[in-house]
């Protein structure tokens, strides 16, 4: 907490010296996770954390933008879940059909909802949540060109961010700890290497397509037995080449989606893909409620099973933006089921509240397959999160 407080005061001071014209906003989030069982490794049942994300946004001139966003998180149980991260700190210079972004930023690639295979620019903060959608800021220079034949984005990624993992006292962790203090890199430049990426994206009426290539240090490490610490795994970050394909086709209200990758450099070259659809029923039963459906199937050469996910989203379309999301992860081969339900709504214009519950099925007998959820069998939880937004 002390170190976070120090950073916090530093950020607050920096705001006073910035131009008054800038838009200064932010959010504070309080979050409590209650696990129904004691941790398989004796961890506690109640975990709370507080996050603070200040943000500055400014149009410097007509053709220049400045954006800053930081994220600070303090967890009361797991020190590996504490975070001080600059998510955004960049300038964009806007030209005619061209823009240049330099600084720290986040970039999203992809079309599917339940897994993000193509998305490789930023490192994942796995301690924030389970879905892999929380990212760490990445220093970069990005040049975007808009042409009649599509958009081209060229990236130079300066330096590397390590993946975060839950610590000793954290929940939803592997039975073996991950030694994040001594990662191994294939590149002799270690975390100072400059990586490169290129992405072309275009659309033809109802069809959206993107092709990308990434050459650099893999954001996803392989976990190797540690030679330094007993009973620990060490993240091994190898140099990879990954080609990605994204496609989306709209047929009426139905969106068909595909993401596929081919990666070399981490043992055998492999392919992985996610394909599925999204459909929204507008105004179910003559009400103003929308019901969205998602079905996505996964394939990964490295896994022996091909799990799929069914999801629904109930949008109440009220003035509170009330929503209920649900998802079911089904792995036929290992006979496993995981379930998530999340309800959220606005309370006044300043605040949001969300309730989330996650359930990992552990009732099935041993059928010889390697169970993906085995490490989390005691980690069913309920989470309540309250977010307060400040600034206009």
Partner 1 sequence: MRIVSCFFLFLSLTLSSSLFANRGLEIALLSDKNNEGYGDSSSSMTMELISKKGDVVARELRFKRLEVPEDGDKSIAVFESPRDVKGVAILSYAHKQEADDQWLYLPALKRVKRIASKNKSGPFLGSEFSFEDFSFQEVEKYEYEYVKEENYLGKDCFVIKRIPLDPYSGYTKQLVWIDKENYLVQKIHHFDRKAFHLKTQTFDEYKKYLGFFWQPHKIEMKNHQNGKSSILKFTEVSFKKGLTDKDFSQNSLKRSR
Give me the least distance between CB of 221 and partner 1, in Å please. 23
Nearer of residues 86 and 223 to partner 1, judged by Cβ: 86
Give min distance, CB of 14 to partner 1, in A: 21
- Measure Cα distances from 287 to 229, 273, 290, 326 in Å: 59, 37, 8, 20
- CA dist 223 to 13, 171, 265, Å? 40, 19, 15
What DSSP string describes 224-239? EE-SSSTTEEEEEE-E
Closer Cβ to partner 1, 30 or 250, answer by number: 250
Nearer to partner 1, 6 or 288 (CB): 288
Q: How far is the CB of 101 from partner 1 (least distance, A)?
A: 9
Quick one: 188 or 349, whose CB is closer to partner 1?
349
Sign of CA dihedral 183, 189, 191, 196: negative
Residue 320 CB, shortest distance to partner 1, in Å, is 8
∠ CA 21-27-29, nearest 5°, is 170
Which residue in this structure is represented by tokens 């099925």?
Answer: 361
Q: Which is nearer to partner 1, 40 or 353 (CB)?
A: 353
> Closest approach of Cβ 271 to partner 1, in Å?
24
- By CB under 8 A, name the binding residues for partner 1: 25, 27, 57, 65, 92, 94, 96-97, 99, 106-108, 110-111, 133, 144, 146, 151, 201, 203, 205-206, 208, 248, 250, 252-255, 280, 282-283, 288, 290, 317-321, 346, 349-350, 352, 387, 389, 391-392
Residue 209 vs 369, nearer CB to partner 1? 209
Report, in Å, the least distance between residue 301 CB and partner 1: 27
The phi, psi pair for 328, rounded to 5°, reads -130, 125
Cα 335 off chain centre by:
26
Site of tokens 């379930």? 339
SS3 (DSSP) at 36 = coil
Query: 53 in helix, strand or coil?
Result: strand
């Amino acid at each position: 907490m002390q170190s976070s407080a120090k950073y916090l005061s530093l950020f607050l001071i920096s705001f006073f010296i910035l131009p008054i014209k800038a838009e200064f906003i932010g959010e504070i989030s309080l979050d409590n996770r209650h696990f129904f069982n004691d941790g398989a490794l004796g961890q506690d049942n109640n975990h709370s954390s507080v996050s603070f994300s200040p943000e500055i946004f400014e149009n410097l001139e007509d053709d220049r933008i400045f954006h800053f966003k930081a994220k600070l998180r303090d967890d009361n149980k797991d020190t590996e879940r504490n975070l001080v991260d600059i998510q955004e700190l960049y300038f964009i210079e806007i030209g005619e059909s061209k823009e240049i972004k330099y600084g720290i930023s986040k970039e999203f690639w992809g079309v599917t909802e339940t897994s993000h295979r193509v998305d490789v620019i930023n490192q994942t903060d796995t301690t924030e949540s389970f879905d892999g959608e929380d990212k760490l800021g990445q220093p970069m220079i990005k040049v975007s060109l808009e042409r009649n034949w599509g958009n081209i984005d060229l990236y130079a990624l300066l330096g590397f961010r390590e993946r975060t993992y839950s610590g000793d006292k954290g929940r939803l962790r592997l039975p073996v700890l991950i030694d994040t203090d001594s990662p191994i890199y294939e590149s002799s430049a270690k975390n100072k290497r400059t990586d490169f990426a290129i992405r072309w994206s275009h659309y033809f009426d109802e069809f959206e397509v993107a092709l990308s290539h990434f050459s650099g240090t893999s954001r996803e490490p392989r976990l190797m037995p540690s030679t330094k610490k007993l009973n620990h795994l060490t993240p091994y970050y190898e140099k990879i080449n990954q080609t990605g394909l994204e496609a989306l086709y709209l047929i009426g209200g139905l969106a068909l989606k595909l993401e596929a990758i081919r990666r070399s450099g981490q043992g055998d070259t492999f392919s992985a893909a996610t394909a599925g659809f999204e459909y929204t029923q507008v105004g179910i039963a003559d009400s103003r409620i929308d019901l969205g459906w998602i079905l996505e199937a996964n394939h990964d050469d490295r896994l022996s099973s091909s799990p799929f996910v069914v999801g629904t989203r109930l949008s109440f379309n009220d003035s509170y933006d009330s929503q209920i999301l649900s998802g079911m992860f089904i792995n036929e081969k290992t006979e496993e089921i995981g379930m998530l339900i999340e309800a959220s709504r606005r309370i006044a214009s300043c605040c949001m509240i969300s309730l989330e519950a996650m359930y990992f099925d552990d009732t099935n007998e041993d059928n010889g397959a390697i169970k993906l959820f085995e490490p989390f069998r005691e980690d069913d939880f309920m989470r309540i999160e309250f977010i307060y937004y400040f600034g206009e």
